[in-house]
Amino acid sequence: MNNGNTLKIDIQSEIGPLEAVLLHRPGAEVENMTPRNVQRALYSDILNLSIAQSEYEQLSGVLSKVCKVYEVKDLLIKVLEQWKPRADLIHRICETEEVMSYIDVLMEMDSAELARVLIEGLPARIDTLTSYLRNEYYALYPLYNFYFTRDAAVTIGNQALVCRMANKVRMRESLIMNAIYAYSGAFECDVIDVNEKQPESSPIIMEGGDIIVAREDILIVGNGVRTTPQGIDFMVERLRRSAPRGRYNVIVQQLPSEPESFIHLDMVFTILDKDKCMVFKPLIMQANQYQTVHITIDDGVVTSIRPVSNILTALKKLGMDLKPVVCGGDDEWDQEREQWHSGANSFAFAPGKILTYARNIHTLDKLDMAGFDIIKAGDVVSGKAIIGDGPCAVAIDGSELPRGGGGPRCMTMPLSRKNVDW
């Protein structure tokens, strides 16, 4: 903490004891869709909000017991209470979404109502023939995916990287995150907004689910439908400039374009402990057509770009010898089913202490065999169970949340972690 109120952003690993996290509780925006627009919302199904919220309370309840929790909406209100940041944000949103005629309406709203509208959506005025014939209910679409706070911005070291999203329906998330980092007064960090000075046709695209800070000198990045090679080159260039001394490693994993459960790297690979990781075996450990590439930066210069056999081999050569826990267990059908329901998308809040979904029973069996104590998240929240000193997997009820296409890592944006004694 700095000055008692401002958090100094600092993320040097995936597993360091969590000090602060940014969350967004799913609200009315999740239900503001119909079967007609569900694909545009990037969903494969419609969630039952009340059940999704009760499951989400398990996630946020556990995290509130181990670290400081920041809420997106609270921070957004703080931004909107300042006239210039409010005006700048509204202008950027309306320009990006081509609704400039709504600027005055938005500016007149009080901050809490405006924050709600920017998240839950703004119904369109039907006051012209053009607006009538458009047959669109919303002028500003709801942010259906905003509870996946991982994607719109990434913390790497002391920098907040505001991502350029692959789908226009999610661009407002990045604009809001940039405003929060820059103007909420909650955080001390350097902000890199990838959206600035990028033409609409720019191939530079990246999302946080593809970016894993393995160690202070190792970044693992997925290359697929949500993060382009040009987006990775952008990150490498920034890393090259910010790391003028010593060696830095970027490991790139190509991802299939389908099924949609493969959209991000953290849907097939996550780090659990100093010596363990969760993997979707067919992609991470078996021979396939998807390349793994190791980029080496020495004293600010890219000195090597070469293929490697897989992520685990590359990490072992760098001193991270991770034993894989297989998502879905030994059966190929179970592996596919549980990967689909975010079985590989674990979130470590300390070394060997993770959040995962209870529905993925074969994955939990493998975690149990690997020495993880399986604890119900509801029992932790109620005080019936405590998180002990040993490895544990805190299991969240997940009948509805996985329908949105993500798991505990997707729903968490770490802001600060303690260092790991490697």
* Residues near 226 by beta carbon (within 8 Å), at least 6 away in sequence: 151, 165, 166, 205, 206, 207, 209, 210, 263, 264
Tell me the pLDDT tens digit for each residue of 123-155: 998 887 877 777 788 999 999 899 999 999 999
Output the pLDDT for position 169: 87
User: For residues 362 and 370, what is the distance between their CA atoms, to the nearest angstrom?
Assistant: 13
Output the pLDDT for position 133: 75
* Residues near 227 by beta carbon (within 8 Å), at least 6 away in sequence: 166, 205, 206, 207, 210, 211, 221, 264
Output the pLDDT for position 71: 98
User: For residues 343 and 360, what is the distance between their CA atoms, to the nearest angstrom?
Assistant: 6
Tell me the pLDDT tens digit for each residue of 248-285: 999 999 999 887 778 999 999 999 999 999 999 999 99
Sheet hosting strand 413-417, strand order edge to edge: 68-71, 18-23, 413-417
Output the pLDDT for position 36: 55
With CA atoms as reference, report the closest residue to 402 among 334, 341, 319: 341
* Residues near 229 by beta carbon (within 8 Å), at least 6 away in sequence: 223
Burial-class residue 201 by CB neighbours within 10 Å (0-12, 13-18, 19+): exposed
Tell me how crowded residue 47 is: count the other CB atoms within 10 A of its CB.
22
Output the pLDDT for position 109: 98
Domain residue spans of the chain: 7-417
* pLDDT lower than 50: segments of the chain: 1-3, 38-43
User: For residues 315 and 161, what is the distance between their CA atoms, to the nearest angstrom?
Assistant: 24
User: For residues 43 and 220, what is the distance between their CA atoms, to the nearest angstrom?
Assistant: 26
Output the pLDDT for position 130: 75
Output the pLDDT for position 258: 83
Output the pLDDT for position 45: 59
Cα angle: 147, vertex 152, 157; to 5 degrees: 115
Beta carbons of 243 and 214 less than 8 angstroms apart: no
What pTM was computed for the model?
0.94
Output the pLDDT for position 391: 98
CATH of domain 7-417: 3.75.10.10
